[in-house]
Amino acid sequence: MSEPDKVHTDMFTVTFWGSRGTRMVSDKNHIVYGKDTICVEVQCGSRTLVFDAGSGIISLGESLIKRNIDSIDLFLSHSHYDHVEGIPFFQPFYNTDFSSTFWSGRLNGITHSRDIVDGLMKEPYFPIKQEKFLSKIRYKDISDFETLQLGDEIEIETKPLNHPGKATGYRVNFKGRSFAFITDTTHVPNKPDEALIEFIRDVDLFAYDCSYTDKEFPKFATYGHSTWEEAIRLKNSSRAKAMAGLHHMPFRTDKALDKIAEMLKTNGKGCRIARDGLKIQL
């Protein structure tokens, strides 16, 4: 009788609800890897953590309601549209019996989590203000490099990333396993980012900004994103066990992502491309 409980309390899963970067896509060349912008659900025992609120959070919201999950911790990497655009449409925010804690790091121009939501939900851009949210929302601001103890044996480490306007990377440590969420960030070619390598050291899985290829990178070097080849180098240097690439650019069709998936499989053990609906057990 005790076994199902044990499985439940130790459960550590990562589910990708949105893997696209920059904007949503919606044509026949973008079916397999999904259409939605960044949102990742992490289940740690009975706790639900959510990383970023791109359009993927809309489907996640419907799923949370179906699963009777009434509480989440929502962490934002930063406030660019592809990471926040689902917030006004996240159904649980309009339910009285739902509660959430909303975390974000320091960004250029915005230092309080609440201001991110205020900025998204105001006339003339959106007719509903956040005061219309019926759920309970607690806003929390994260300092650079802060480590958070969420209770239930969940520890969150944070790290500033290299991105225009700033962004925050997260590492979730839970019962001897770990997951890192690293988007949006860039790198300097041929210069390993030792601080990031240490941050993801030995993780069981990290999600990483694989917007570009090394060949494309020079053209986009100032955009604040990275490459799938850099993800492999990081994985090897940090001894991370697995990597899932995300932030797929709108021009990256299913065919193009298939090719990158193949290259990752050949060149990086444990490396794969994230797609909407992919669930990984740690």
For Zn ion, which is the closer residue by CB, 41 or 184? 184
CA distance 176 to 178: 7
Please identify, among the stretches 19-27, 125-133, 141-149, 236-244, the one whose residues bind Zn ion according to the rule CB under 5 A: 19-27
Task: Note whether 209 binds Zn ion by CB under 5 A.
Answer: no
Q: How far is the CB of 80 from Zn ion (least distance, A)?
A: 4
159 binds Zn ion (CB under 5 A): no
How near is the Cβ of 215 to Zn ion at its closest, in Å? 21
Tokens 């690293």: give the residue: 182
Among 20, 30, 80, 159, binds Zn ion (CB under 5 A): 80
85 touches Zn ion by CB under 5 A? no
In the complex with Zn ion, which residue's Cβ is closer, 40 or 69? 40
Q: Considering beta carbons, is residue 61 or 224 the nearer one to Zn ion? A: 224
Cβ at position 257, least distance to Zn ion in Å: 17
Which of residues 36, 41, 73, 82 is near Zn ion by CB under 5 A?
82
Nearest distance from C-beta of residue 214 to Zn ion, angstroms: 19
Residue count at the site for Zn ion (CB under 5 A)?
Answer: 4
Give the Cα separation of 64 and 87 in Å (integer): 14
Q: Which residues make up the interface to Zn ion (CB under 5 A)? A: 21, 80, 82, 184
